[in-house]
A and B are shown apart, each in its own frame.
Chain A
């Protein structure tokens, strides 16, 4: 799967894309308090997700169902319009028993696929049909410093078969650089040990050029991405910086030495956007479609007989 930036579209295609704008859907999953909402707001550079009201102490003990709340933002990346839909999942991982939540999220993703399948099978298709398929799922891992938890392993394994999963370490400012490196290494070991399917920047040795291969390798080495989010801006040395202020220092969001946020953003919204969309359509959707149709008893018989 060749990966390329948005600049590959030449001439007519580019003009069309510029006018209509690209559509991209990101789903963010992770336990409460991992920094998901702050990340979304930092990514979109706008307070898209409002702060939850936690003042009600009574509600804290109640069972929470996973909410699936899509919000759409219009962004402008290098002159290209991008219609970014972010699906937040508040309530995931908050309960004492979290297994039911997995099915809810998987159901949402498969539902989008079902809609596309239904749309494709219509005699008269709707040209203005909106494609709501989730192109990438960012899974937030808690910065425990140890390794993946049972919930992380089970969830990523379940969903990796249906959507591009990219593991992300939230609140990365709670770990020192050595701890962070060791943590990342252990997570990748866990991922290969438990054979968890994730999007690891695949490239074709023969087809792609040197630059692409190098870029993908570099990004693969950064997995899982460490992010820090902040909506507060402070003026430091004359420039406005997004950061978190502690009594012992200031953490900058856009500083690539502090965290991988800027690289993740560039990857998501510019360089690998098309790759993610293509894989979703050509591989994941097709796999789902095959499984679903063969379950229903269709066969690829040329005689067209149904069982």
Chain B
């Protein structure tokens, strides 16, 4: 009997899922946390303000610098803002680290930062089993590490800190104040930094390159080729060829922020906001948070298995051990016995040989006597 004919393709509406998701996400908004790490004077505050086209952070007031604390610690400063664009809301948090790398002795200056990152993961982990799970999510989705534009290579402090950070957060290295380096020097500098990063096994955030869209793939490859990104930041508008652009006005020209030939600011902004924001958020949750979770849970002795199964496995292991023990004892005994038998055999053989010898001796004695007797008889006859 022939099977019934399969039904033709019917549009059920599953393809509508992304649209639903879009509506949900638009309504919920997103929470986005960026951390900036680097020595003071590298343009971190200016960069953040330029990135979001809004005055996120106040600049350090120079009059206050004489009153600053001398306890040589690194602080964690969080600034929150709600940004809205075309009806879509983002709860943005920028985490700054003043005091990092600023002192003569910078040993362990990364410890407060690492502690902060771990604490955020731990906070979410603790909240997993609490009845009311809604909580502030301050897990850092992207950490921008500002590298000084020395033109040489990474400093020991950079390498040490990046090693600690890359396992806990999406790390994006950035070359600050890129208008100090000529284009040829910049290429060589980037090469050396990339070399350093791979030699020391630092896992920086690499966006996936391939996607179905040709354009996207091309964009991703160009982003990847430009890492680490060189940035110039400015909030001032200057006039160039009659147009108003953001840039820095020097006596010898204007360095433009959004000019791709001058710096990679646009690429970095696209990465952080336009194209890979969702990627950064999900990687933080799926990869870094999971790593932290697994590490913490296995450290406290938990594992993936059913307790009964575990008990049985333990029992089996014990049995195997005892079996091996017995087998060893048995072979030992057998060996001892064999040895004993062999020795006994040797003794018997040597005994037999001795007796045979005696017998032979007696024989030869008897023969001798017989010969003597015959001689005497022969002598008598004559």
Binding site for B on A (CB under 8 A): 31-34, 52, 54-55, 57-58, 60-64, 94-99, 102, 142-147, 149-151, 154-155, 171, 173-174, 176-177, 186, 190, 193, 244-252, 257-258
Inter-subunit contact B157/A174 (CB<8 Å): no
How far, in angstroms, from A52 to B102 measured CA to CA in the complex?
25
Considering residues B40, B153, B154, B157, which has the most beta carbons from chain A within 10 angstroms of its beta carbon? B153
Inter-subunit contact A32/B65 (CB<8 Å): no
Confirm or deny: B135 has a beta carbon within 8 angstroms of a beta carbon on chain A. Answer: no
Inter-subunit contact A174/B180 (CB<8 Å): yes
Partner of B252, one of A64, A145, A151, A258: A258
How far, in angstroms, from A184 to B42 measured CA to CA in the complex?
17
What per-residue 1/0 map shows which CB atoms of B154-195 lie under 8 Å from chain A?
Answer: 111101100000000000000001011011000000001001
Inter-subunit contact B159/A61 (CB<8 Å): yes
- Which A residues touch B179, using CB under 8 A? 173-174, 246
Total contacts A to B, CB within 8 angstroms? Answer: 134
Inter-subunit contact B62/A147 (CB<8 Å): yes
Inter-subunit contact B253/A249 (CB<8 Å): yes
Inter-subunit contact B199/A57 (CB<8 Å): yes
Q: Known: A142-B41, A147-B65. Is A246-B255 also a contact (CB below 8 A)?
A: yes
Confirm or deny: B150 has a beta carbon within 8 angstroms of a beta carbon on chain A. Answer: yes
Task: Provide a sorted-by-A list of 11 A–B residue pairs whose CB atoms are within 8 angstroms.
Answer: A33-B149, A57-B192, A61-B160, A142-B148, A151-B103, A171-B149, A177-B250, A246-B253, A247-B259, A248-B262, A249-B250
Partner of A94, one of B41, B156, B261: B156
Inter-subunit contact B156/A96 (CB<8 Å): yes
Confirm or deny: B152 has a beta carbon within 8 angstroms of a beta carbon on chain A. Answer: yes
Considering residues B196, B200, B254, which has the most beta carbons from chain A within 10 angstroms of its beta carbon? B196
Chain B proximity of A213: nearest CB distance (Å): 30
Partner of B106, one of A32, A97, A171, A193: A97
Confirm or deny: B248 has a beta carbon within 8 angstroms of a beta carbon on chain A. Answer: yes
Q: Known: A174-B177, A251-B252. Is A60-B105 also a contact (CB below 8 A)?
A: no
Inter-subunit contact B182/A246 (CB<8 Å): yes
Nearest first, the 4 A-B pairs at minimum CB distance are A33-B150, A144-B41, A249-B253, A249-B252
Inter-subunit contact B152/A57 (CB<8 Å): no
Partner of B156, one of A61, A142, A144, A248: A61
Report the nearest B residue to A64, measured CB to CB: B156
- Which B residues touch A99, using CB under 8 A? 104-105
Q: Known: A173-B180, A177-B251. Is A95-B156 also a contact (CB below 8 A)?
A: yes
Inter-subunit contact B107/A60 (CB<8 Å): no
Report the nearest A residue to B65, measured CB to CB: A147
How far, in angstroms, from A193 to B65 measured CA to CA in the complex?
11
How far, in angstroms, from A99 to B148 measured CA to CA in the complex?
20
Partner of A176, one of B148, B153, B154, B249: B249
Inter-subunit contact B251/A257 (CB<8 Å): yes
Inter-subunit contact B103/A176 (CB<8 Å): no
Chain B proximity of A62: nearest CB distance (Å): 7
Further pairs besides A96-B156, A97-B104, A246-B179: 13, Cβ < 8 Å? A31-B150, A60-B156, A61-B156, A95-B156, A98-B104, A98-B106, A102-B104, A144-B41, A146-B62, A171-B149, A245-B182, A246-B255, A249-B250
- Which B residues touch A149, using CB under 8 A? 40, 102-103
Partner of B157, one of A96, A145, A245: A96
Chain A proximity of B183: nearest CB distance (Å): 6
How far, in angstroms, from A54 to B194 measured CA to CA in the complex?
13
- Which A residues touch B196, using CB under 8 A? 57, 60
Chain B proximity of A194: nearest CB distance (Å): 9
How far, in angstroms, from A207 to B248 measured CA to CA in the complex?
46
Q: Known: A174-B179, A248-B253, A258-B251. Is A146-B156 also a contact (CB below 8 A)?
A: no
Inter-subunit contact A250/B252 (CB<8 Å): yes
Partner of B41, one of A34, A146, A171, A252: A146
Partner of B104, one of A32, A146, A151, A250: A151
Inter-subunit contact B152/A97 (CB<8 Å): no
Confirm or deny: B127 has a beta carbon within 8 angstroms of a beta carbon on chain A. Answer: no
Inter-subunit contact A97/B107 (CB<8 Å): yes
Q: Known: A33-B152, A57-B153. Is A248-B255 also a contact (CB below 8 A)?
A: yes
Partner of B195, one of A57, A102, A145, A248: A57
Inter-subunit contact B105/A248 (CB<8 Å): no
Partner of A33, one of B148, B195, B250: B148
Inter-subunit contact B156/A32 (CB<8 Å): no
Chain A proximity of B28: nearest CB distance (Å): 40
Inter-subunit contact A57/B151 (CB<8 Å): no
Inter-subunit contact B103/A150 (CB<8 Å): yes
Report the nearest A residue to B178, measured CB to CB: A174
How far, in angstroms, from A32 to B198 measured CA to CA in the complex?
22
How far, in angstroms, from A172 to B157 measured CA to CA in the complex?
24
How far, in angstroms, from A97 to B252 measured CA to CA in the complex?
38
Partner of B150, one of A32, A63, A173: A32
Partner of A58, one of B66, B183, B199: B199
Report the nearest B residue to A259, measured CB to CB: B251
How far, in angstroms, from A58 to B107 measured CA to CA in the complex?
20
Report the nearest A residue to B46, measured CB to CB: A145
Inter-subunit contact A96/B192 (CB<8 Å): no
Confirm or deny: B60 has a beta carbon within 8 angstroms of a beta carbon on chain A. Answer: yes
Partner of B159, one of A32, A54, A60, A98: A60
Confirm or deny: B96 has a beta carbon within 8 angstroms of a beta carbon on chain A. Answer: no
Confirm or deny: B256 has a beta carbon within 8 angstroms of a beta carbon on chain A. Answer: yes
Partner of B153, one of A54, A143, A248, A257: A54
Chain B proximity of A3: nearest CB distance (Å): 30
Inter-subunit contact A146/B107 (CB<8 Å): no
How far, in angstroms, from A177 to B33 measured CA to CA in the complex?
35
Q: Known: A142-B41, A247-B262. Is A54-B104 also a contact (CB below 8 A)?
A: no
